[in-house]
Structure 1
Amino acid sequence: MSRQDVDVLIIGGGIVGSSAALFLAQGGQRVALLERNFCGAQASGVNYGGVRRQGRPLVQLPLSSRAHEIWGGLQDLLGTDGEYLKSGHLKLARSETDFASLQAYAQASQGFDLDLQLLDRGELRRRFPWVGDIAVGASFCPEDGHANPRLVSPAFAQAAARAGARLLERTAVTVVEHDGQRFQLRTDSGLTLSAPWLLNCAGAWAAELAARFGEPVPLTAAHPAMLVTEPLPLFMTASTGVEGGGIYARQVARGNCVLGGGRGFALDADRARPGQLAILDILRNAAELYPALTGAQAIRTWSGVEGYLPDHQPVLGPSLTTPGLLHGFGFAGAGFQIGPAAGEALAECILQGAPRHSLQAFSIARFPSQPRSSQSCA
């Protein structure tokens, strides 16, 4: 049985865990990143690919704004742009009530440099003539966009490895212990790893690890319904969503349109399918909102496993029970854009003692079953 001592252990190779590994390795830490599948293969790699700040809860906007800066330097950071495009994000309203909600959000989010542009029916038709008549208005965030999660998420892990992190894919953790000073992990390959820091970035499976350290959380799994169409003539000039939910869509340079909405179902703990009814509902909504998609053929459908907490806010920051344990999970299907900043914040807790933006709103302390003491990473 082999053994290795490092500075930081990270469980979970999604975009949060992999970005934390990258920033820690760049900061001179000896890092081991463990992923039981392949890095970026779960929620971080199967999501819609939206890179948006618009519509996020206000409490997330400082972290989301920092992520926006990181995305702007993606090529230099990772060696690939991941098909990242600042197309703008168009949030559509299907009723006057929904448009009033967009107006209220634009007012409340002033000060975060979103530069939101409210478009009434006439202005929406003039600027985005491909939107269906069912939309009565919209809010446009010109600097938001989209990227390819199947390229970006693994690229963070690969960049971490180039920076010196040890990348252990297809490696399941079988034992996790803490002796008061260091964490000891054993894997299914017989490897033992030890470190004073452990990052719990295990996505929809993170609650099990948190519970081992006396921190149960009501994390549940959900399964997005996704599809991509055949290549079509280019028409969709922005990534889109809808106030109140229901559907989101973007078109890539090859002409394919990526759409999502609704929920699929689990096959087992690790796999999911979108379901026929969810796909049909996406296609029905698409024809109303984007008439150019009428009759388009879906060439592939998929789903994944995402972690949700009741308030749709992540747990991000220190454990209340165990020195050296940091959590980063539960992003409610919206972790792709904010993920690099979340990973950086976890790295800053170790490298600097505190992140540049407060994580207090995302503390695990907000759940009533938690103890009251805490570590000092604000």
Structure 2
Amino acid sequence: MFLFSDQSPVTFHDDLPDEVDVAIIGGGVIGVTTAWFLAKSGRRVLICDKGRIAGEQSSRNWGWVRVNGRDEAETPIAIESLRLWEAFGEELGPDIGFQRRGIIELAETDDEMAFCEGWLDIAKANQLDTKLLSPGDIADVFPAAQGAWKGAMITPSDGRAEPFTAVPAIARAAQGAGVSIRERCAVRTIDVQNGRVTGVVTENGAVKAGAVLCAAGAWSNMFLGNLGVDLPQLAVRGTVARTAPAASVFDGAAGAKDIFIRRREDGGYTIASAITEHLIGASSFRYGASFLPALKSASELRFGLGADPTQALFPRPRWGGEEATPFEKTRVLNPAPSQSVLQKMRTHLNDRIPALRDAAFIESWAGMIDAMPDVVPVMDELRAPKGLFIATGFSGHGFGIGPGAGKVMAEMIDGQAPRYDLKRFRFARFKDGSKIDPGPGI
């Protein structure tokens, strides 16, 4: 079993310090890499996770480390992230599982091919090795893919990594660099004095801190809502599987219309679908109108009924530092994979990549993706309270860009001038009348 659950052993249980420079809420790839870079700059850092390090989406994703097809504003950060993944692999060893094996996106329709052609301008502006492939080229590069392809886009320098082991490996290194890490320790709220953050209140006690980063993934809306901060975020469920070891059909990661594959270090493939599911609840009605622009291109999004503990009820419950919170009731969000999606994945895999027809699905799982109305994250400091930072809403592509985003947040918290144009990622875009302009999907 490759997944974390509430029954997984607690690995990180450092004593709570009395005071740190920065407290980080959430031990996923964003929180952990931010902590790493802050520690390297000499900051005292605490990571608190209600469940397990990388217990949710940071260990459940596809394992793609891509620049290929990114939102234009994300692209420079994703390029740096590739370099950082490579550095982590060299410094921290095989648990990272990073290799540059390329990512290819196959186009079956004129619209899909037009996207590839249009994105080539972004690639050229960023001096990438991205190139377009003709149907004949596809037959040479990815002969196992079956379809009436119009063409493809490939970025040979893109990579892959192993989500289940990579983020815990970085966390161990961060701990070795002085970061305090505590699992099963939910942050209930923050302390504020005179309009400025002064610390966090956890279920195990209070810690003074000059800055707090909310990197809580799909739980960010609920945590921030308790503070009166309205973040328009919804969660969607993605179903994933892994196969038994199989012959190599493509050594990197590939999207073949309705099926997505990524070669694994264990010799199998991680298999995923473009189909995602949103469970309708109170937050659906709060924020549904904000997501309408993105829904126009989300042809594979399904809606259903079911329990989604990341959605706050009407009216929103509020709690203080002395009260148990929803984060303590659901330590590790572990949704069941969709059986109907798994069946479609099997069918699509057999049709698109017949060479993997006999590769059995030996494990399947699901994760809740923290989605934003424009399919790009928030990376910002709030105007009030001062010292509260947000890095969330990576909309299904946070693993690959994680180290780059972590470095952005570490520099922001350190008060350094931004090296990138971060206007697209500001929190205020949802409140200041800015047009919602959805970026590319996952």
Report the TM-score when normalising by structure 2: 0.79
Q: CA deviation at 1:176?
A: 2.0
SS of the residue aligned with 2:178? coil
Task: Give me the whole-angstrom Cα distance separating, in 2, the residues matched to 1:300 and 1:292.
Answer: 19
Q: 2:22–2:209: 8 Å Cα contact kept in structure 1?
A: yes
Q: 1:229–1:300: 8 Å Cα contact kept in structure 2?
A: yes
What whole-Å deviation, never above 9, does each CA across 1:50-93 have from its counterpart, x for those lacking one? 01110111111111111122112113443445111111001011
Match of residue 199 from structure 1: 213
Q: Which moved more, 1:317-326 or 1:12-21?
A: 317-326
Once the two structures are superposed, the pairs formed by residues 231-270 of structure 1 within 5 Å of their partners are 231-242=245-256, 246-261=258-273, 262-263=275-276, 268-269=308-309, 270=333
Instruction: Determine if the alignment matches structure 1 residue 54 to structure 2 residue 117.
Output: no
Q: Which moved more, 1:11-20 or 1:270-279?
A: 270-279
Q: 1:320–1:364: 8 Å Cα contact kept in structure 2?
A: no
Match of residue 107 from structure 1: 121
Cα distance change, pair 123–254 in 1 and its aligned pair in 2 (3 A) = same
Letter in 1 for 2:109: S
Match of residue 360 from structure 1: 423
Q: Which runs of 5+ in 2 are unaligned?
A: 1-14, 280-305, 310-332, 434-442
What whole-Å deviation, never above 9, does each CA across 1:326-347 have from its counterpart, x for those lacking one? 1000000100011111111111
Q: CA deviation at 1:131?
A: 1.4
Q: Which moved more, 1:52-61 or 1:74-83?
A: 74-83
Task: Give me the whole-angstrom Cα distance separating, in 1, the residues matched to 2:307 and 2:43.
Answer: 39
Cα distance change, pair 274–2 in 1 and its aligned pair in 2 (3 A) = closer
Match of residue 374 from structure 1: none
Once the two structures are superposed, the pairs formed by residues 104-143 of structure 1 within 5 Å of their partners are 104-143=118-157
Task: Give me the whole-angstrom Cα distance separating, in 2, the residues matched to 1:320 and 1:352.
Answer: 14
Task: Give me the whole-angstrom Cα distance separating, in 1, the residues matched to 2:45 and 2:70.
Answer: 31
Cα distance change, pair 306–159 in 1 and its aligned pair in 2 (3 A) = same
Letter in 2 for 1:88: G
Task: Give me the whole-angstrom Cα distance separating, in 1, the residues matched to 2:337 and 2:80.
Answer: 32
Once the two structures are superposed, the pairs formed by residues 232-311 of structure 1 within 5 Å of their partners are 232-242=246-256, 246-261=258-273, 262-263=275-276, 268-269=308-309, 270-311=333-374
Task: Give me the whole-angstrom Cα distance separating, in 1, the residues matched to 2:335 and 2:74.
Answer: 28
Instruction: Determine if the alignment matches structure 1 residue 345 to structure 2 residue 360.
Output: no
Match of residue 313 from structure 2: none
Instruction: Determine if the alignment matches structure 1 residue 210 to structure 2 residue 224.
Output: yes
Q: Which runs of 5+ in 1 are unaligned?
A: 371-378
Letter in 2 for 1:5: E
Q: Which moved more, 1:143-152 or 1:113-122?
A: 113-122
Q: 1:50–1:337: 8 Å Cα contact kept in structure 2?
A: yes
Letter in 1 for 2:276: R
Q: Which moved more, 1:179-188 or 1:277-286?
A: 179-188
Task: Give me the whole-angstrom Cα distance separating, in 2, the residues matched to 1:128 and 1:76.
Answer: 28
What whole-Å deviation, never above 9, does each CA across 1:218-241 have from its counterpart, x for those lacking one? 101111110111221222233102
Match of residue 373 from structure 1: none
Letter in 2 for 1:346: M
Q: CA deviation at 1:107?
A: 2.5
Match of residue 314 from structure 1: 377
RMSD over equivalenced CA pairs, Å = 2.0
Instruction: Determine if the alignment matches structure 1 residue 184 to structure 2 residue 184.
Output: no
Instruction: Determine if the alignment matches structure 1 residue 165 to structure 2 residue 165.
Output: no
What whole-Å deviation, never above 9, does each CA across 1:86-130 have from its counterpart, x for those lacking one? 110010111233222211211343211221121111111022211
Q: Which moved more, 1:222-231 or 1:233-242?
A: 233-242
Match of residue 312 from structure 2: none
Task: Give me the whole-angstrom Cα distance separating, in 2, the residues matched to 1:112 and 1:206.
Answer: 32
Match of residue 391 from structure 2: 328
SS of the residue aligned with 1:313? coil
Task: Give me the whole-angstrom Cα distance separating, in 1, the residues matched to 2:16 and 2:131.
Answer: 58
SS of the residue aligned with 2:100? coil
Report the TM-score when normalising by structure 1: 0.91
Q: Which moved more, 1:270-279 or 1:83-92?
A: 270-279
Q: How many residues align?
A: 367
What whole-Å deviation, never above 9, does each CA across 1:202-259 have from its counterpart, x for those lacking one? 110111233344320210111111011122122223310246xx32102224331111
Task: Give me the whole-angstrom Cα distance separating, in 2, the residues matched to 1:354 and 1:272.
Answer: 40
Task: Give me the whole-angstrom Cα distance separating, in 2, the residues matched to 1:291 and 1:135.
Answer: 16
Task: Give me the whole-angstrom Cα distance separating, in 2, the residues matched to 1:256 and 1:76.
Answer: 23
Cα distance change, pair 295–163 in 1 and its aligned pair in 2 (3 A) = same
Task: Give me the whole-angstrom Cα distance separating, in 1, the residues matched to 2:376 and 2:75.
Answer: 12
